[in-house]
Amino acid sequence: MGTFSGLIRSFRYGAVALLCNLALAASVGSAAAAETVTVAALGDSLTQGYGLPQEEGFVPRMEAWLRTEGADVSMINAGVSGDTTAGGLSRVDWTLTPEVDAMIVTLGGNDFLRGIDPAVSRENLRGILEAAEAKEVEVLLVGMQSSNNYGPAFKAAFDSMYPELAEEFDVPLYLSFFGGLGMEGDAAGAAQDLMQADGIHPNAAGVALIVEAMGPAVLQLVNSVR
């Protein structure tokens, strides 16, 4: 009888230990899964990967770069070709789903191409940053620079909205999406070899350089979430 009781106690102890181990394993598994940082890239055709095979676009290339740097990251391509800052504002709330930890905002190029008042673009970007702030989502704001097509006042107002908003909301700024292509001054002609035929969108080689240049800023964004 004593032996039988001992067996029962042993069985109960083993069952409890097994359940505890399973619970611990599930907890560890959940913690490991939670370590993956989800980054939404809210933007236009530059983000979406216009004119390129899917795997050569900005978002897949950036995710691959981050992973080679050891980041456990998953990126969401929230780029829509032709989108303006108004379009980004209209869809930011449903882009910021609960699993999104951070967001890259690259908008404004189409505003410039359409000659939209920079004051309007600024308010749209402010709305996007306010939405991210409300949901406690970290943001990297990516700037653009306009040409002088609409005059120096337009250019000054457009170019300044990015650093001023970054300071207002205390978010990091990557000054220019095309910074990695060296499109300033005498290097502008050479940079055309890194663009598609339309002269607006980077080709695969251009995207690779953009990702390499911007990557450290995005990696810093991912690490700030952790």
Query: 44, 45, 111, 159: which one is catalytic?
Result: 45
Cβ-Cβ contacts under 8 Å for 81 (sequence gap 6 or more): 44, 45, 48, 50
pLDDT at 192 (0 to 100): 81
Answer yes or no: are the C-beta atoms of 142 and 105 closer than 8 Å. Answer: yes
pLDDT at 191 (0 to 100): 78
Q: Please tell me the distance from the alpha carbon of residue 203 to that of residue 105, in angstroms, as a whole number.
A: 21
Pick from 24-28, 109-113, 144-148: least confident: 24-28
Among residues 52, 103, 51, the alpha carbon closest in space to that of 77 is found at 103
Is 201 a catalytic site residue? yes
Answer yes or no: are the C-beta atoms of 79 and 42 closer than 8 Å. Answer: yes
pLDDT at 3 (0 to 100): 45
Read off the pLDDT of each residue in 153-177 and give the average, rounded to a whole number: 97
pLDDT at 4 (0 to 100): 38
Query: 83, 111, 146, 201: which one is catalytic?
Result: 201
Q: Please tell me the distance from the alpha carbon of residue 63 to that of residue 182, in angstroms, as a whole number.
A: 23
Average pLDDT, the chain: 86
Cβ-Cβ contacts under 8 Å for 99 (sequence gap 6 or more): 38
pLDDT at 94 (0 to 100): 95
Q: Which residues pair with 79 in a beta bridge?
A: 43
pLDDT at 10 (0 to 100): 43
Answer yes or no: are the C-beta atoms of 110 and 43 closer than 8 Å. Answer: no
Query: 5, 147, 186, 198: which one is catalytic?
Result: 198
Read off the pLDDT of each residue in 83-100 and give the average, rounded to a whole number: 97
pLDDT at 182 (0 to 100): 78
Cβ-Cβ contacts under 8 Å for 51 (sequence gap 6 or more): 196, 198, 201, 203
Q: Which residue has the tokens 């070899």?
A: 193
Q: Mind listing the pLDDT tens digit for each residue in 170-221?
A: 999 999 999 999 765 444 455 789 999 999 999 999 999 999 999 999 999 9
Pick from 115-124, 159-168, 177-186: least confident: 177-186
pLDDT at 32 (0 to 100): 42
pLDDT at 35 (0 to 100): 85
Residue 18 vs residue 40, higher pLDDT:
40
pLDDT at 226 (0 to 100): 75
Q: Mind listing the pLDDT tens digit for each residue in 127-150?
A: 999 999 999 999 999 999 999 999
Answer yes or no: are the C-beta atoms of 92 and 85 closer than 8 Å. Answer: no
pTM of the model: 0.83
pLDDT at 23 (0 to 100): 44
> pLDDT band at residue 43, thresholds of 50, 70 and 90?
very high
Answer yes or no: are the C-beta atoms of 95 and 127 closer than 8 Å. Answer: no
Q: Please tell me the distance from the alpha carbon of residue 32 to that of residue 34, in angstroms, as a whole number.
A: 5
Is 45 a catalytic site residue? yes
